[in-house]
Structure 1
Amino acid sequence: MRDAYIVQSVRTPGCKQKRGQFNQTRPEELVSFIMKAAVEKTPNLKPEHLEDVMVGCAFPEAEQGLNLGRIAAKMAGFPDSVSGATVNRFCASGLEAIALAASRVQMGWSEITMGAGCESMTFVPMGGNLPRPHPEYSKTDPEMYISMGITAENVANRYDVSREDQDKFASDSQAKAARARDNGLFTEIVPTPAFKFVEQADGTWKKEEFIVKHDDGIRESTPEGLGKLRTVFAANGSVTAGNSSQTTDGAAATIIASKEKCDELGLTPIAKLVTYATVGCKSDEMGVGPRYAIPKALEQAGLTIDDIDIYEINEAFASQAIYCIRELGLEKYMDKINIHGGAIALGHPLGCTGAKLTATCLANLKEVNGKYGIVSMCIGGGMGAAAIFERV
C-alpha cells in the first residue's frame, strides 16, 4: 500500500454559534473558501489536479445538506472533473473524511485528494432541525439518543472526575488558547471572509463582507470563576457551560497526494497519515472513546505513548478529556496535550473538528520540531477515533 502524503492543512477560525462572527455566513461559503485557500496556498498545485473531495459534516441537512462535498467543490471553483462526497461519523466526520481521502491515495484509486470538514451550528443546530428517534427502539435503548451532556455527567460520576478538576482543566485550556492567539501561534488559520446583512436607508438589505482572523470564543477564566457557574445537565452535577466545548461554526481542509504525484508536480509533503482507528464503546459514556481508540491506533502503528510529540484530544467535555488522559497514563505528558488549548476554548464544530484538529496538530508538530502527532476524539452514539500523523 502506498504512502499518503499531506501537502497542505489549514482551517478557518472557529466562531461561536449564533453569537459569533460567522453567524450570517453560510456553511457552503466557509468550506468552499478554505478548500480553495488550501489549493492556493500549495505551490505548483492547481484545482484541476484534484480528483476527489471528502467533506465531513455531522448534520448534513438544510444549508449544509444535499451533497455538501460536491457543492462546495464547485463553489470553490474546482472543475467538473473533481468529484465530491459528504461523510458523517458525527464528531469524527472531518477525521473520517481525511482518512477516506488518504485511503484512495493509498489504494492507488486517486493521486490527489482532499479531506475536509464543515459545520455551522448556527444554521443547523445540535441534533438537526427535525430529530426523530425510533419510537420502539428508543424505549429499549434510550442511551442512543440521550444528551451528550448527560454522557459527560456519567463519565464524571462513574470515574470520579471532580468539578474542581474539570474547572481547572477548562481554565487552563482558555489560558493556553489566549497565549497562542496573542503570540500568533495558530499558524494553520487562514483569515476568512464572513458576511453580514446590513439594512439600508431604503429598507433593503445589503450583504457586506469582513475578514475574521481569530477564534472568537477564547475568554479569560479562572477555576474560581468557573466554579460559580450553574450546572447545565443535572441539578447536582458537575458539567457546566464553562467546562464543556463551545458550539461553533468553522471549516478546515487537508490535501493529500501520492509520492509519485508530489515528485511530478513538485509538491512538498509536510506529513503522512500513518494509521487511523475507530472503536465502539457504551453510548451513555461516549466520552471515553479516545481511551480505547488511541491504544488501538498506537498498536497498529507499532508505537507507544512515549513516541508521540503532540496530542490533540478533543475537549468535548473536561470530564471525559481528564478521564482519558488519566487512563492512558498521559498525565506526565500534559505539556504535549492540546498545547494551544482545546475545544473548551476554541470550539467543537462537530463535523469540522477532526479536520480542524489535523491542521492544528501538524502546525504544532512543526512548532515543536516533533515527529508523531495524534488526533483523537469521542463520538456521539458511543465511539472513539484516533489518527496518527508523521511529520516529514
Structure 2
Amino acid sequence: MSTPRDAVIVDVLRTPVGKGKKGGALHHVHPVALLADVLTALVERNGIDPALVDDVIGGCVTKSGEQAVNPTRSAVLAAGFPLTVPGTTVDRQCGSSQQAVSFAAHAIRAGAADVVIACGVESMSRVPMHSDAQGADHLGERIARRFPGGLVGQGISAELICARWQLGRDELDAYSAASHQRAVAAAETFTKDLVMVTEAPELTVDETIRASTTVEGLAGLRPSFRSDAAAERFPEIGWKITPG
C-alpha cells in the first residue's frame, strides 16, 4: 500500500469583498469574471503554465441565475485556461470553498492529481441568497415528516445556541466590535493576497469591514431575526413578543 503524499498550499489570492447589495462596488461585475480574475492572477504570479493544472474545484452556495450550472468551469474558460483544464463546482453551503480545498488535498494525497486550484465565488448582489429555492419545495415530503415544524436558518440557529450556552447580547456585541477592529488591523498588514478586479479597479479593500464599529453602536441595533413566529416556536430563546 502506497504512502499518501503531502498536499501543500502554494499561494492564496482573492478579490476584495464587496457589499452584498446593489450599491456594492462589485454589483456590476459578473461572478464568472470575479473568479476568472483570481485564476488569471494566480497562474501569472506563480509563473506556471495553466495547462499543468489537473483540476479547478470551486465552491458556490447559490447556483442559479448567473451562477447556475458550473460557474467554476465557466471561470476557467473566461480566464483563458486551455480547454483541457477541467473545472467543477461543489456546494456545502457556507463551507463550500472550504470543501473545495479538502477535495483538492484529497486528490493530491491520493495521487490522482499533482496541481489543483481550490477556489470559490459568490455574488450576493447579483444572485441573492436562496434565489435558487424560490417557488419550489426543495426539502420534500420525507424531510417534512421527520421535522414537522420545518427547518430553520443560521440566524435562528445562532439564537438557539446563545440560549443554550447562555451567551449574552453584551458579550456578543463586544466580540463583534473586536472582530471588526482585528479585521481593520489585518487589512493594513495582509495586502499581498488581494487581486484587483478588472471591472472595479477602484476597490482595493474589503467594503464589509467597518472601522467605526463600536459596542455602543451595536447595542442600538435591533436583533435581525426577532419575530412573533420565532418567539412562539422557540420560547427557550426568551424573546418578548411585542407589537410591530
Same fold (TM over 0.5): yes
Aligned to 2:163: 157
Q: Is the 8 A contact 1:194 1:212 kept in 2?
A: no
Question: CA 1:81/1:133 → structure 2, altered by over 3 Å: closer, same or farther?
Answer: closer
Instruction: Flag as ranges the 4+ runs of structure 1 deviating above 4 A.
Output: none
> Structure 2: how far apart are the matches of 1:57 and 1:171?
28
Task: Say if 1:145 and 1:229 are closer, same or farther in 2 by CA, change over 3 A.
Answer: same
Change (3 A) 1:78 1:118: same
Aligned pair in 2 of structure 1 residues 110, 134: CA closer, same or farther (>3 Å)? Answer: closer
Question: How far is the alpha carbon of 1:142 from its aligned partner?
Answer: 5.6
Q: Which residue of 1 aligns with 2:121?
A: 118
Q: How has the CA–CA distance of structure 1 residues 124 and 145 changed in structure 2, closer, same or farther, with 3 Å as cutoff?
A: farther
Structure 1 position 58 matched with structure 2 position 61? yes
More strand by share: 1
What is the one-letter code of the residue matched to 2:50? P
Give aligned pairs, total: 221
Q: Are residues 1:188 and 2:193 paired? A: yes
Within-5 A mapping of 1:269-348:
none
Q: Distance in 1 between matches of 2:114 and 2:186?
A: 35
Q: Which amino acid aligns with 1:98?
A: V
Structure 1 counterpart of 2:173: 167
1:31 aligns with 2:35: yes
d(CA) in 2 for partners of 1:223 and 1:143? 35
Letter in 2 for 1:231: P
2:106 pairs, out of 96, 103, 106, with 103
Aligned partner of 2:225 among 226, 233, 245: 233
**Aligned runs of 1:84-103 on 2, under 5 Å?**
84-103=87-106
Match of 2:238 in 1: none
Q: CA RMSD in A?
A: 2.0
Partner Cα distance (2:195, 2:71) in 1: 21
Question: Does the residue aligned with 2:198 lie in a helix, a strand or coil?
Answer: strand
Q: Is the 8 A contact 1:21 1:194 kept in 2?
A: no
- Specify every segment of 5 or more residues in structure 1 that has no aligned partner in the other structure, as ranges: 196-209, 237-283, 285-392
Structure 1 residues 183-224: Cα deviation after superposition (integer angstroms, max 9, x where no partner): 3434322222235xxxxxxxxxxxxxx342110111111111
Per-residue Cα deviation, 1:136-175 (whole angstroms, up to 9, x for no partner): 3335416763222111111111110000011001100111
Q: 2:85 aligns with which of 76, 82, 86?
A: 82
Name the amino acid aligned to 2:74: I
Query: Whole-Å Cα distance in 1 between the matches of residues 43 and 149 of structure 2?
Result: 42
Residue type of the partner of 1:212? L
Alignment partners' CA distance in 1, 2:45 and 2:148: 46
Instruction: Report what 1:40 is aligned to.
Output: 44
Q: CA deviation at 1:4?
A: 1.2
Q: Cα distance, 1:99 vs. partner?
A: 1.2
Equivalence for 1:3: 6
Query: Which letter does structure 2 place at the counterpart of 1:225?
Result: G
CA–CA distance in structure 2, aligned partners of residues 232 and 143 of structure 1 = 21
How far apart are the structure 2 equivalents of 1:140 and 1:233?
Answer: 24
